[in-house]
Amino acid sequence: MLKSLTKYRAFIALICGALTPLAFSPFDFWGLILIIPGILFLLLQNLTPKQSAWVSWCFGTGFFGTGISWVYVSIHTYGNAPIWLASLMTLSFAMGLALTFALQGWCYAKWLSKSTLSGAGFIGLWVIFEWIRSWFLTGFPWLYLGYALIDSPLKFWAPIGGVWLLSFAVLCISIATVSLLTTRHASQRIALAVIITLPCLGFFLPKEWTQASGHIQEIDIVQANIPQQLKWNKNYLPEFLNIYSQMTLKQTQAPLIIWPETAIPALLSSAKPYLSDLLTQLEQDNRALISGIPSIERDTEHPNGYRAHNSLALLTGKTDIYHKQRLVPFGEYVPVENYLRGVIEFFNLPMSSFSLPAQQQTTLNLSSSKIAAAICYEIAYPELVRKLSTDSDWILTVSNDTWFSHSLAPAQHMQIARMRALENGRWLVRSTNNGLTAIVDPYGEIAAQAPAYQPAVLTGSVEKRSGVTPYQKYGVTPVLLLSLLLIVVCFTRRQKGSS
């Protein structure tokens, strides 16, 4: 009977997991995120650790199977893997990520579920595992619960504790709600009602944690919409650089022009003959150009004698460069390369031989601004962006989401970028090859956006900000300590005889 019941719970968990990404962009049914964790909490009651791990793994498989389905596009469309193989690899990736939920469920059933405060342990454990996903095996910090609240009244907790505190608030509301519906004790009902109410008071929190300087930076962002299938073909290099150059010369006037990630798909030495006229003209006009570009850094201690980087460079005036610090597995480097390189075309994607920089990267410096740079995937790392933005005037993230076409990825990526602006109280500029190109204000709201999937130039401005938010000052540490405290309190309140 219990085995049969566990199967039903696993199926419900799978469906709930698959529905959860509807709470995130582009769907934005954020109310769902306040319900589904509570349902999973109920499904895990009275299960053995093994059963709890199974049910949680099913939830995670549905969650990632829907939420990161966009991986299929890069494997099949641009990696030229057949449909069956691309589907199998995408599913395998989702099921692998779901193992974090399995371990979370096992730990909950093993040490916390028999406690009179099991809900507190469930909340603390979930937040801890979200944090683990930000660094384990280089990290996959995607689809944290708190991102769904970027357009909700609860969003104003983000400058205090980042997306982590929003995830904590989601879990408190969800678990307290289902507990309120199942308890009969009046005192417990009052306490649970208070727990539900407290996160909702975030609307009354201060909105201004950082200060405007009054210094306005005018910006033109060039979105050239270059086809991904042709971008790395050397025969098209002159044509594509000419497109960027002509759009810049004819459609921009701002003192700062931004091109997206690897807009220049070659080393500067190879691209310079096609850019010399543009760069000369910009120098004469005292205008700056920042572009994504691959670069080479000599390193005698590296096996190749050099390091190849995915970089963001200031190409005019007093030049400066930032090297990407978080690389995408299989996209920018191939794990166990000696065994996988060449097995299928997907493992030979362009840009898949990059290295990490030998030194810690700092802000990208203009004559008038210090910019916190984040290349593509890096914007998903809250702590990385926090550390860079603390000493910056505004944030710049460049990306090439063409790898994922019209999937869920661009909208999810944009939502993540908006959260970084809100957490750090800084204006944020997002430059992409085909969308979503936008300027985001310090409150996480989109101030201007270019039309997606077509060539465009987005003209706008950002304002330098000073000061730090509580999250910038203290990072994830307070939320982690609070989560650990809940786990410890829950553990000490276990029923006698429980293991």
Interatomic CA distance for residues 395 and 473, integer angstroms: 17
H or E segment at 168?
helix 158-182
SS3 track for 75-97? HHHHCCCCHHHHHHHHHHHHHHH
Angle at 296 between CA 295 and CA 298, to 5 degrees: 155
Interatomic CA distance for residues 430 and 260, integer angstroms: 8
Evaluate whether 80 touches 345 at the Cβ level (below 8 Å).
Answer: yes
Query: Maximum Cα–Cα distance for the chain, whole Å?
Result: 80
Residue of 61, 57, 16 lying closest to 35 (CA atoms): 16
Interatomic CA distance for residues 189 and 425, integer angstroms: 37
DSSP per-residue codes, 5-49: HHHHHHHHHHHHHHHGGGGSTTT--GGGGGTHHHHHHHHTTT--H
Evaluate whether 425 touches 159 at the Cβ level (below 8 Å).
Answer: yes
Interatomic CA distance for residues 41 and 43, integer angstroms: 5
The catalytic residue positions are: 261, 324, 376
Evaluate whether 243 touches 226 at the Cβ level (below 8 Å).
Answer: yes
DSSP 8-state code for residue 305:
S
Evaluate whether 196 touches 180 at the Cβ level (below 8 Å).
Answer: yes
Q: Where are the beta strands (DSSP E) in 302-369?
A: 306-314, 320-323, 364-365
Residue 269 neighbours by CB under 8 Å, 6+ apart: none
Residue of 450, 429, 405 lying closest to 224 (CA atoms): 450
Length of the chain as a residue count:
499
Q: How far is CA 236 from CA 220, 223, 225, 296, in A?
A: 24, 17, 14, 22
- Cβ neighbours around 238 below 10 Å, total: 12
